Amino acid sequence: MKGLEIFFKTLEKEKVEFLFSPPNSFGRTADELFEKKFSKSKYLERIVSGTEQGASHMADGYARVTGKPGVVVCDSDTSATNTITGLQTANMDSASLVVFVCHFSEDKDLTNIFETIDHVGISRSCTKHNFLVKKIDDLSRTIREALHLSVTGRPGTILVDISKEALDDSANFKFPSIDNISGYKVPTFGPKKDIQKAVKLIMSAKRPIVFGGGGIVISEATKALQKFANRLKIPVTLTLMGLGGYPPDDPMRVSWIGMHGSYFANMAVHNSDLVICIGARFDDRSTGGVFDKFAPDANVIHIDIDPSTINKNIKVHCPVVGDAKSVISQLDESIPLTFKPDKAERDEWFTQIKEWESTHPTVANQKGKVIKTSYAIDTLSKITKGKAVVVTDVGQHQMWVAQYYQFENPRNQITSGGLGTMGFGFPAAIGAKLGRPKDMVLAVCGDGSFQMNMQEFSTAVENNLDLKIILINNGHHGMVRQWQTLFFNKNYSCCKFDLNPDYVKIAKSYGAKSFKIDSPKHLEASIKEGFSTKGVVLMEIVVDHTEMVYPMLTPGGTMDNMLFGPDDPIPAGPVPDMS
């Protein structure tokens, strides 16, 4: 069997559902083999993206909503180099993306520029691991290891560079076991001494709070955390990546934290005496970036499966390396059943949090004749009852989704949190819909981000997806405008779109359905009409470009220092870095 067939056969036996590939990336020989032997397989459905970058975002979206590896198959030309942004996007958010760079069209008798691209080298900094396959005997095993590595431990991205020789040579097909991968061990349970130390801190805390990140979602730890938090009466707040990981109506839930998180959640973290961080990185967007002043009166327990994240930004008093779900269960079982937190202390703590909430509640108000984006997102949440899969692009709309969409379930909030990749939303939503075909999937995009990958209409329409696109059109790069308003004395530069396309016509030209919404009184009815229409539907919502996202941590400030409106004084100091 040729190496090329072994490649596809191994992926088929691994039950890979979709192969996301850029246009024309297989080449003639691979196309013919695939059509002849694998086109009727119950697996390996090929999804061709409209742009070379789009394929990796589609695979990323698929991976995030399913927990399975998203697989990209591409040639060794620019199809491969254009996966780098997708690899970095997925890796920073711990998504299971595997890119197979196959030298399909390389001519061994000619000197070809694509032979000189060091795919392993250029991808090393944006992957969990990468492989170079030179021999056919290593091919099947390496494919299996790549898929396994991508979803175990802290999920991440893998690149596999497969040489022309490995694809052209012949060998008997083998499907080797990968039970033991040399040098790779995944921690599950935390060390007993660390668990015991954490238990003492938890039992003695008066104002504890759980600081929950994406690790809760990845570990499927929601129910374990609910049991733990409700038993010990510990409030739970979430980072951007943790949204969906804890039910919004649970009595222990305290909104979300960060740059545009809720005031009362940020205040609760800042004034706590114990932060129990589970599956989060303590990055600057969730802490304010002044790491030495984070929760100044608190001990910090940090639970994470990746030891490299511990003590990276925040000094940790009790590190616990292990799987989030397993460690939560360990803690719960290690605390005596007879232990009950002091009721008066907990009542005082929750009363204080409620007072902070009443001081600055997160409420969407529609005023005037122009639609407010916050009101539009709040309307979306109410119509869908928080149960849709919502995939966002990057910018103001991303933050309003985090603030106003009440995510009921894990793996329903899909966004580029670490890298902030504009153009991510639409292709990722396509991958999400393929992975969860029975669920409602919404792509919520800003007009700035949408223009970067709107060619993916071709993929969405061609595959007959029932996908709804909420296009927030404010005619600007909204977040850039907000920062220039607040920190650059309204010296606007490169944030307004002097020439904006007709998105309704563009969607229709691809065969999608589309319409524009520009009145608050028609908003709810129009959205419901779009949702009830089958197929790819673009709903362009024209919104107020002057609306800004509040509250907002003051850059360079601590978590108790927030802006609530344009009249709040801006702290003196150097101009912040918005990247």
> Looking at the domain assignment, is residue 71 inside a domain?
yes
Residues 122 and 226 in one domain: no
> Looking at the domain assignment, is residue 54 inside a domain?
yes
Beta-carbon contacts of 370 under 8 Å, excluding residues fewer than 6 positions away, are 518, 520, 542, 543, 544
In the predicted model, what is the mean pLDDT of residues 368-378? 97
Instruction: State residue 518's pLDDT score.
Output: 96
Residues 124 and 160 in one domain: yes
Instruction: State residue 577's pLDDT score.
Output: 62
> Looking at the domain assignment, is residue 566 inside a domain?
no
What CATH number did the domain enclosing 225 receive? 3.40.50.1220
> Looking at the domain assignment, is residue 177 inside a domain?
no
pLDDT tens per residue across span 204-256: 999 999 999 999 999 999 999 999 999 999 999 999 999 999 999 999 999 99
Q: Is the pLDDT of residue 25 over 90?
A: no
Residues 259 and 378 in one domain: no
pLDDT tens per residue across span 484-520: 999 888 999 999 999 999 999 999 999 999 999 999 9
Residues 20 and 147 in one domain: yes
CA 116 from chain center: how many Å? 33
Residues 211 and 327 in one domain: yes
> Looking at the domain assignment, is residue 556 inside a domain?
no
Closest CA to 359 of 551, 206, 497: 551
Split at pLDDT 50, 70, 90, the class of 531 is: very high
Q: What is the number of domains present in the chain?
A: 3
Which of the listed residues 103, 135, 168 is the one where a domain comes to its end? 168
> Looking at the domain assignment, is residue 570 inside a domain?
no
Instruction: State residue 209's pLDDT score.
Output: 98
Residues 109 and 136 in one domain: yes
Coil, strand or helix: which one is 365?
Answer: coil
Domain span at 404 = 373-550
What CATH number did the domain enclosing 152 receive? 3.40.50.970
Residues 255 and 225 in one domain: yes
Residues 416 and 277 in one domain: no
Instruction: State residue 110's pLDDT score.
Output: 58
> Looking at the domain assignment, is residue 364 inside a domain?
no
Residues 47 and 146 in one domain: yes
Split at pLDDT 50, 70, 90, the class of 570 is: confident
pLDDT tens per residue across span 135-150: 999 999 999 999 999 9
Q: Give me the percent of the chain exceeding a pLDDT of 90.
A: 88
Q: Is the pLDDT of residue 369 over 90?
A: yes
Residues 534 and 409 in one domain: yes
The answer to whether 270 and 205 are in contact (CB under 8 A) is no
Instruction: State residue 113's pLDDT score.
Output: 58
Residues 346 and 388 in one domain: no
Residues 145 and 288 in one domain: no
CA distance 534 to 466: 6
